[in-house]
A and B are shown apart, each in its own frame.
Chain A
Amino acid sequence: MSQTSTEIAARVGEILDAHEGMEGSLLPILHAIQAAYGYVPRDALPIIAKRLNLTRAEVHGVMSFYHDFREDPAGRHVLKLCRAEACQAMGGDRVAQHAQNRLGIEWHETTKDGRITLEPVFCLGLCACAPAALVDGKVVGRVDEARLDAIIEGVR
């Protein structure tokens, strides 16, 4: 079923209603829309802009500033690998290279079958059990090549 712009208008409208009166509501609104769709549909931007009395460019500017917000849907699963120093000290770069080779994609790309999107992340706070990963929002510590293979095999 395709998401028509009327459907987006209705659903985004409900999300905007739920955030009415909140101080500095734009980030919570974008998070809520992304939680609903998996990304922020382009059609949502003018609706948000109108309600918050901003220009569409301003809303786009905010959205594009933050790494978290997507303009397009991700794969069915999102694998985030930490690239920060504590993970580097434990072979994080090697594991990341292994992931890219294994999946045949670079950072921010999705496998051809739409199964996995690979994202870099800078610190998950699991620095004493590095390297760390976040698989569909679940944390995994001490990720070596074998564990990474198991993660990739484990999501369909």
Chain B
Amino acid sequence: MKIYVPRDAAARGLGADDVAAAILAEAAKRGIPVELVRNGSRGMVWLEPLVEVATDAGRLAFGPMTPADAPALFGDLAQHPKALGLTEALPWMAKQTRLTFARVGVIDPLSLADYEKHGGLAGLRRALTMDSAAIVAEVTESGLRGRGGAGFPTGIKWKTVAEAKADRKYIVCNADEGDSGTFADRMLMEGDPFTLIEGMAIAGIGTGATKGFVYLRSEYPDAIEVMTAAVEIARQSGLLGPSVLGSGKAFDMEIRTGAGAYVCGEETSLLNSLEGKRGIVRAKPPLPALQGFMGKPTVVNNVISLATIPVIFEKGAAFYKDFGLGRSRGTIPLQIAGNVKHGGLFEVAFGLTLGEIVDEIGGGTATGRPVKAVQVGGPLGAYFPRSLFDTPFGYEEFGAKEGLIGHAGLVVFDDSADMLKQARFAMEFCAIESCGKCTPCRIGAVRGVETVDRIAKGDTGAIPLLTDLCNTMKSGSLCALGGFTPYPVMSALTHFPDDFTPAMKEAAE
């Protein structure tokens, strides 16, 4: 009997380890041999721990499981109280286009054989037959843009590094996924680590870099464990090392752990941190593509950008480019979180409206109250009211509404949310996490908290001051931390003015 119990952090946080132990204990009691696979998560977090049993008809899903539900897995499966039917046929799964996440939740994350059986390494094998220019051209042609949030065309970045002359070049994977509401990087690294390794190897071969780093945040202990083990396996199997898959081309990598600084998700600050320095933002230029890690040409890409590379090389740039809308090509792993009924990861082509995502896929709030606001793109993303629910999910489309898609995390709030409090938090967070290099961010965030507090006390005259301060931070900050903190603040103020007016607030209460 083959049973899958996710080892994903969200599943573990909801008791997957206890469920796994209960299944093994019951199997031992009954003398039934069980092959227990600790897979990644299918992304339906409200059903975690989601256990699957392999049958001739396909994998059957059961969830949310508790240890008490384990014994019934050895009886009539159709009668199991937590039976959900075939996993692939569940509406959440059937409506997705899983390209980057095709293997997550399906395979044993640390089985290279399983990985290859499901299409793994096909992209790298193809890339090894191509020259540098062709590899870079393929990425450019796919239309892939940086999934970390900035949306910069990945192919252009690679081209700059490929054409730079240097004795050493580096591939740096930004796995410092600090945005609240995002967990795609974590799920991918825990559920399909070889995809990221393969993507980084292709990046290395395409740009002439022989060394890679994954800068992985310390808040993700499970992802660190899986990635570290996967790199070791990859090295032993010749996927990494002096001759990648016997090609004679070298590429190796290291997993590095962050130390709890949000700003290190910003690429130049990340590079300083990786060099062993304070995570202070660097002024650009020089671009990291020309002078990055240790002053050498460096590709800095997000986990999802790099993990999407293998499927682009396996199926071709044209295949990937066919999905999406406008200048947002391919698929995006939406992360639906916060106060939502059906939260989790949903990979789909760009173009769904915010309303479809929140109301239809997410099923509204967990509390059952009306949705008041959705923060899209992490702590630096704007709060969207219901009146903007017709906005299609794409880089330019969200930009046109004074927002951003960021790393595609969506945090849903019900009508009990106080948007003045959320605006205050945005400033408070910026003040805590500011690296301190530029004044608009370092001082502006502190003054921002004070100004919001004045408004909260009824001083409506401070509202223009807050607007002015936001303008200064937006145009005067060195990086996105100070530059984008105005997004949540101004969107809260613009779309929910009643929360900033004491009289209106009292009337509402």
- A residues sitting closer than 8 Å to B (CB atoms) are 23-28, 30-31, 52, 61-62, 65-69, 82, 84-90, 121-130, 132, 134, 137-142
Contact = CB atoms under 8 A, between A and B. Distances in A.
5 contacts: A62-B276, A67-B261, A85-B379, A86-B409, A125-B219
B417 A128 contact: no
A24 B278 contact: no
Nearest to A54: B276
Interface of B is mostly: mixed
Contacts of B412: 89
Contact of B9 (A52, A121, A139): A139
B9 A126 contact: yes
Q: Which 6 A-B pairs have CB atoms at the shortest separation, nearest pair first? A: A128-B343, A26-B276, A84-B180, A141-B13, A127-B337, A66-B259
A90 B339 contact: yes
B71 interface: no
A130 B260 contact: no
Given A87-B180, A126-B9, A142 B274 contact: no
Contacts, number: 158
B45 interface: yes
Interface string B246-286: 00000000001111111000000000011111111000000
Interface string B34-62: 00000000000110100000000000000
B160 interface: no
A28 B257 contact: yes
Interface stretch (B181-189, B387-395, B463-471): B181-189
Interface in B320-355: 335-340, 343-345
A119 B293 CA distance: 32
B259 A127 contact: no
Contact of A67 (B259, B335, B411): B259
A24 B417 contact: no
Contact of A85 (B185, B262, B338, B366): B338
Nearest to B433: A122
A123 B45 contact: no
Contacts of A126: 9-10, 13, 183
B222 A90 contact: no
A138 B17 CA distance: 11
Contact of A127 (B181, B221, B222, B260): B181
B366 A90 contact: yes
Most chain A CB neighbours (cut-off 10 Å) among B177, B336, B337: B337
Contacts of A85: 180-181, 338, 375, 379, 411, 422, 425
Contacts of B218: 31, 68
Interface in B148-193: 177-183, 185-187
Contacts of A61: 278
Contacts of B258: 27, 66, 68
A123 B386 CA distance: 25
Nearest to B381: A85
Contacts of A122: 178, 180, 262, 379, 429, 433
Given A89-B413, A139-B222, A142-B13, 20 more contacts: A24-B294, A25-B276, A28-B256, A52-B276, A61-B278, A62-B277, A65-B261, A65-B279, A85-B180, A85-B181, A87-B180, A89-B411, A89-B417, A122-B178, A122-B429, A123-B178, A123-B180, A127-B180, A127-B182, A129-B10
A86 B275 CA distance: 32
Nearest to B179: A123
A55 to B, nearest CB: 13
A90 B338 contact: yes
Contacts of B273: 27
B504 to A, nearest CB: 22
B220 interface: yes
Contacts of B183: 125-128
B12 interface: yes
B462 interface: no
Contact of A129 (B13, B277, B293, B411): B13
Nearest to B336: A128
Contacts of B417: 89
B315 to A, nearest CB: 28
B14 A86 contact: no
A89 B337 CA distance: 9
B180 to A, nearest CB: 3
B337 A130 contact: yes
Interface string B400-438: 000000000101111001000010010001000101000
A78 B157 CA distance: 41
A86 B337 contact: yes
Contacts of A89: 338-339, 411-414, 417
Contacts of B340: 128
A84 B432 CA distance: 12
A89 B365 CA distance: 10
Given A30-B259, A61-B278, A127 B13 contact: no
A23 B293 CA distance: 10
B180 A128 contact: no
B294 A129 contact: no
Nearest to B294: A23
A125 B294 contact: no
Contact of A26 (B277, B366, B414): B277
Contacts of A27: 256-259, 273-274, 276
Contacts of A30: 259
A139 B13 contact: yes
A132 B13 contact: yes
Nearest to B222: A139
B136 to A, nearest CB: 25
Most chain A CB neighbours (cut-off 10 Å) among B274, B277, B294, B338: B338
A74 to B, nearest CB: 14
B219 A121 contact: yes
